[in-house]
């Protein structure tokens, strides 16, 4: 099937590369000219495991362009442009601008919205373009996006005429739910909001553990997670959720519910707790140390999670800003992020650690749990992502560890 992908970011590029590597001829369009040039050189503009390999394998099936007219032969076009919030409400300007361009060259194609959009958006896009609009929300996680696209837990497809889209994803062998556009749109928000609630919930249980001797939130989470009704995923206590999705999607769905006169206070509470998480933990560290002023701190991990270089809404960057405001002298190490002007970045983990008196884990990279723990000797360790084994490393503050 001839496939177009509009918006070649974390979602669009992975979609394009995976579908091309499955033998579909794919045309990827993006307004960012420098991104297109990088892609034409066969490189991904960002770090995502397995992505470069898929792009290389699919080279003969995939073309990249900033020219929408190249989409004219496509039967199905995936829309993967950003859907940020403006004034706490979803901003559809990119979705509408891209849809408007697509209809000029490819009005007979199926227009498939992969971007996260609120219920009613597919209907609006259909009114604007006159096209068959299908909702096919994306559930991949950065860091495992290629795997998640090839082997998703489920595929959700909303719309009246969905056969071509269903056929495209059949290769995954995953369960496919076919439903209305509105259900598909809401499934995405309900899922992200639920996962955000799960994270804030376990972080509150972690706070409780810290008041109860002989407790450890990781053990509590394991005991909860083995119950299939609860599940183990997203029960890892830490610094709270960040990234380009959960913070914006929870706020967007909350304001959407308010507009509808509906109480979504569980989600509001998860958002509020998450917003306070970084300042709360910095305060805890300051209590522990007496003062952060003048302290040499090494922060391990900069991206919003492991296995990605995406810094959007990174809790690590927030904690660094907060530490600096408290007078700390901050250095950082990250396995893939390089060159941030405002941060003193090391390209060697052990050098970063040895130049500091305090070590903070801010992202769960395996590189950190694998380190030779002898380099932590004599350092104050604040394990905010629970990377280290508390039996092997002396921890000054480990999220969710009850003090004896
Ligand atoms: N990042 C994720 O892990 C993830 C997961 C699930 C869903 N989503 C959703 O998918 C959507 C895209 O997210 P992303 O993280 O891939 O975004 P991104 O910022 O990484 O990429 C978006 C791309 O769209 C391009 N673009 C913007 N306007 C355009 C236009 N008019 N025409 C063509 N290209 C245009 C940008 O240049 C950019 O390359 C969002 O709605 C997001 O909420 C993201």
Q: Which of 38, 39, 7, 34 is nearest to 111 (CA)?
A: 7
- Among all chains, which residue has been given the structure tokens 């999670």? 305
**78 φψ region: left (φ > 0), alpha (ψ -120 to 50), beta (else):** beta
Mutational test site, ligand 1, from 7, 184, 247, max ligand atoms within 8 Å of CB: 7
Q: Under a CB-based contact definition with an 8 Å cutoff, are residues 19 and 91 in contact?
A: no
Q: Identify the structural domains of the chain with CATH numbers, from first to last.
A: 3-179 (3.40.50.720), 190-398 (3.40.50.720)
Structure token digits, residue 233: 């995923």
Encode the chain (404 residues) as per-residue pLDDT tens digits.
999 999 999 999 999 999 999 999 999 999 999 999 999 999 999 999 999 999 999 999 999 999 999 999 999 999 999 999 999 999 999 999 999 999 999 999 999 999 999 999 999 999 999 999 999 999 999 999 999 999 999 999 999 999 999 999 999 999 999 999 999 999 999 999 999 999 999 999 999 999 999 999 999 999 999 999 999 999 999 999 999 999 999 999 999 999 999 999 999 999 999 999 999 999 999 999 999 999 999 999 999 999 999 999 999 999 999 999 999 999 999 999 988 989 999 999 999 999 999 999 999 999 999 999 999 999 999 999 999 998 899 999 999 999 76
Distance 323 CA to ligand 1 centre (A): 31
Torsion angle of C-alpha atoms 179, 174, 20, 118, degrees rounded to 10: 30
Measured by CA distance, the residue closest to atom 31 of ligand 1 is 98
Q: Under a CB-based contact definition with an 8 Å cutoff, are residues 155 and 209 in contact?
A: no
Q: Under a CB-based contact definition with an 8 Å cutoff, are residues 97 and 60 in contact?
A: no
Asked if 352 is an active-site residue, the reply is no
Distance 79 CA to ligand 1 centre (A): 9
Angstrom distance (rounded) from CA 93 to CA 100: 11
- The residues, any chain, with a CB within 8 Å of residue 355's CB and separated by 6 or more, are 296, 298, 331, 346
- Ligand 1, residues at Cβ distance < 6 Å: 6-12, 29-32, 35, 80-83, 94, 97-98, 115-116, 138, 140, 142, 244-245
Element (H, E) at 332: strand 329-333
Structure token digits, residue 244: 């380009």
Angstrom distance (rounded) from CA 315 to CA 304: 6
Give the strand pairing for 3-6 and 155-158. unpaired
* Catalytic entry in 74, 80, 209, 245: 245
Measured by CA distance, the residue closest to atom 21 of ligand 1 is 9
Structure token digits, residue 235: 């029960």
Give phi and psi for 34, each to the nearest 5: -70, -35
- Among all chains, which residue has been given the structure tokens 């509906």? 262
Alpha helices in 22-66 (DSSP H): 33-40, 51-57
Structure token digits, residue 59: 């080279």
How far does Cα 356 stand from its chain's mean position? 30
Angstrom distance (rounded) from CA 99 to CA 103: 6
**Which neighbouring-strand residues pair with 64?**
28
Give phi and psi for 380, each to the nearest 5: -85, 120
Q: Which of 112, 115, 126 is nearest to 10 (CA)?
A: 115
The pTM for the full model equals: 0.96
Q: Which atom of ligand 1 is nearest to the CA of 244?
A: 1
Distance 249 CA to ligand 1 centre (A): 14
């Amino acid at each position: 099937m001839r496939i177009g992908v509009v918006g070649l970011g974390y979602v669009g590029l992975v979609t394009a590369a995976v579908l091309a590597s499955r033998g579909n001829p794919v045309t990827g369009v993006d307004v960012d000219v420098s991104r297109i040039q990088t892609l034409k050189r066969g490189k991904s503009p960002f770090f995502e495991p397995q992505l470069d390999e898929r792009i290389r394998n699919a080279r003969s099936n995939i073309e990249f362009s900033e020219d929408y007219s190249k989409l004219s032969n496509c039967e199905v076009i995936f829309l993967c442009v950003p859907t940020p919030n403006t004034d706490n409400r979803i901003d559809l300007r990119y979705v509408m601008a891209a849809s408007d361009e697509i209809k000029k060259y490819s009005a007979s194609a199926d227009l498939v919205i992969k971007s996260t959009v609120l219920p009613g958006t597919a209907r609006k896009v259909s009114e604007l373009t006159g096209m068959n609009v299908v909702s096919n929300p994306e559930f991949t996680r950065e860091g495992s996006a290629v795997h998640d696209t090839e082997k998703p837990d489920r595929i959700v497809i909303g719309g009246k005429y969905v056969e071509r889209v269903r056929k495209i994803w059949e290769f995954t062998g995953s369960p496919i739910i076919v439903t209305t556009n509105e259900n598909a749109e809401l499934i995405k928000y309900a899922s992200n909001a639920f996962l955000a609630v799960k994270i804030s919930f376990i972080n509150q249980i972690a706070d409780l553990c810290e008041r109860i001797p002989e407790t450890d939130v990781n053990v509590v989470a394991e005991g909860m997670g083995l119950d299939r009704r609860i599940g183990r995923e997203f029960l890892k206590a830490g610094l709270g959720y960040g990234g380009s999705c959960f913070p914006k999607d929870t706020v967007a769905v909350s304001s959407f519910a308010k507009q509808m006169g509906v109480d979504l206070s569980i989600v509001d509470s998860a958002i509020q707790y998450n917003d306070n998480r970084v300042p709360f933990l910095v305060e805890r560290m300051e209590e522990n140390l007496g003062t952060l002023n003048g302290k040499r701190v090494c922060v391990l991990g900069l991206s919003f999670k492991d296995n990605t270089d995406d810094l959007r809404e990174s809790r690590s960057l927030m904690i660094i800003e907060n530490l600096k405001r408290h007078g700390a002298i901050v250095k950082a190490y990250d396995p893939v992020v390089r060159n941030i002007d405002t941060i003193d970045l090391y390209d060697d983990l052990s050098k970063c650690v040895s130049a500091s008196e305090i070590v903070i884990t801010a992202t769960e990279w395996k590189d950190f749990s694998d380190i030779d723990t002898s380099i932590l000797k004599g350092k104050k360790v604040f394990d905010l992502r629970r990377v280290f084994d508390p039996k092997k490393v002396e921890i000054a503050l480990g999220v969710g560890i009850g003090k004896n």
